[in-house]
Amino acid sequence: MWEKYVEFKRPNASPSTLAKDYQKVDRCLNLYLPKKSIDDAVAIRDWLVANKTANSAKRILTQINACCNWAVKSQLITNNPFVGMAADIRVPKGESEDTDIDPFSLAERDKIIQTFKSDRHYKYYAPFIEFLFMTGCRPSEAVALQWKHITDDFRTIRFEQAVVESENGLVCKKGLKTQKKRSFPINPKLAGLLQSIKPEGVTGEDKVFPAPKGGWIDTHNLNNRAWNSVLKRLDSNIEYRNLYQTRHTFITAALETPILMPDGGMRMLDAKDIAKLVGTSAKMIYEHYAGARKELFVPEF
């Protein structure tokens, strides 16, 4: 039944949904689940809760529930015994990539960038890592950038596609995680970085950050090898955190760092402004970043 459901959904499913969500359920059904009949729905739920993280168990049950809903409508089964099971699973705060927020300090950020630049094996990735820290974009968005997405005057970046895993490897898909596209203003420091890496005779279709042998950078492989290796070389006081924390570091720093205005005054960026820059919601910023500030103070007014 699951295979029929996947084939039904395949024409309209995104490559990442096929590669991540559906394949995860497929592996679980074929390799791990001791029981697979819909008559054993409770046993399946209990096994998932006992053997998977709360987030994984919830996601798998959500997909199985959707499959069974489809099967009922398709008259393959008479009722769906998985209804409501996923909703009953509470995912601890911080278990998902977007809410597992543990940013680097700016000093730690600078050490990481400098260590990449001096690393004999992985200095190739230094501009990519620096770009992630300077924009707060998702790694999948940075990998997908082509020179046509950066204006010739180095004033604006247009994020409008992402590189994701598919059944056939890495593919570039149009659109972003939460929106179709967004513009990102380039400051002088970022402009300098982009100008320094733009090759002569480049075309608009060329990748801004190609893999060493061409093609797309595999961020999963980068995280496990280059990123992991470089962070191990750093001060032992710098705790290991994954590549996605570059995004959280940018957002946190943007919230905490005042900016100079044209009139000479200083002001803090509002959560709504930061949300527009990084392609998320102001609600997410307020709940997971602004609400996580450790230092409180009483302003004078």
Residue carrying the six token digits 């010739």: 152
> Residue 130 burial (CB < 10 Å; 0-12/13-18/19+)?
buried
| Alpha-carbon gap, residue 160 to 137, rounded angstroms | 12
How many domains in the chain?
A: 2
Pair 153, 247 in one domain: yes
Residues 151 and 18 in one domain: no
> pLDDT of 6-40, one tens digit each?
999 888 877 767 766 788 888 888 888 888 899 99
pLDDT digits (tens, 9 = 90+) for 267-285: 888 899 999 999 999 998 9
Q: What is the pLDDT of residues 185-239, one digit of tens each?
A: 999 999 999 999 999 999 999 999 999 999 999 998 999 899 999 998 887 778 8
Q: What is the mean pLDDT of the chain?
A: 88
157 pLDDT tier (thresholds 50, 70, 90): very high
Which residues are registered as beta bridge partners of 184?
157
Which pLDDT tens digit goes with each residue over 27-78? 888 888 888 899 999 999 999 998 888 888 888 999 999 999 999 999 999 9
In CATH, what number is assigned to the domain containing residue 213? Answer: 1.10.443.10
Quote the domain boundaries for residue 114: 106-292
